[in-house]
Amino acid sequence: MPLPPPAPDSDGGLRTRDLRAALDLVLAACFTPGVHRVAVSGPDDGPVDRAAQAYGLHRYRVPPTDAGPAAGGSGGAGAGAGRLDVDQLLRLPVKGILLDGVCDGLERLLDRFPGLVVAAGTGPAPCHPQLVLLRADADGCTVRADPSLLAAVRAAAHR
């Protein structure tokens, strides 16, 4: 089923109807089902894990090292995701890392991981050329990323 095209938001990101639609677009733009492998960090059977499974990506589950609140987390979906197990994530043969929440250790991961990092949730996050942020609210989801990544996401909506 074709996905509805994302709409631009006032800050240059893209708006989708919900988190799942944003995940579907990002996964379609950046990964090939049955070919690419991703690491998923966050709750078992969370929305990020379910989207990757439905898209046909091989997933490595790497839970956060603790359940403490992420620095600056504000509660709700994606907050309180804990600390990333960066060393374990870096050992995996993956093209991308999907985070169900903005976790402590994100900047360290971005400094060391050469692939794409997709973070869904709340909390502070750095600007980085290989980071895609998905921010869901009551009215939909905003996708924020480097302009070239946003262009690929827009193109995926028209395939």
- Position 112 in a domain: yes
- Position 72 in a domain: yes
> Can you give the pLDDT of all 159 residues of the chain as single tens digits?
444 445 555 567 899 999 999 999 999 999 999 999 999 998 767 899 999 999 999 999 998 887 554 433 333 344 445 789 999 999 999 999 999 987 788 999 999 999 999 999 876 777 899 999 999 999 999 999 999 999 999 888 877
- Position 2 in a domain: no
| Residue 3, SS3 per DSSP | coil
Domain that holds residue 116: 7-157
- Position 1 in a domain: no
Task: Provide the CATH number for the domain around residue 96.
Answer: 3.40.640.10
Residue spans of alpha helices (H) in the chain? 19-30, 47-55, 86-91, 106-112, 147-157
- Position 144 in a domain: yes
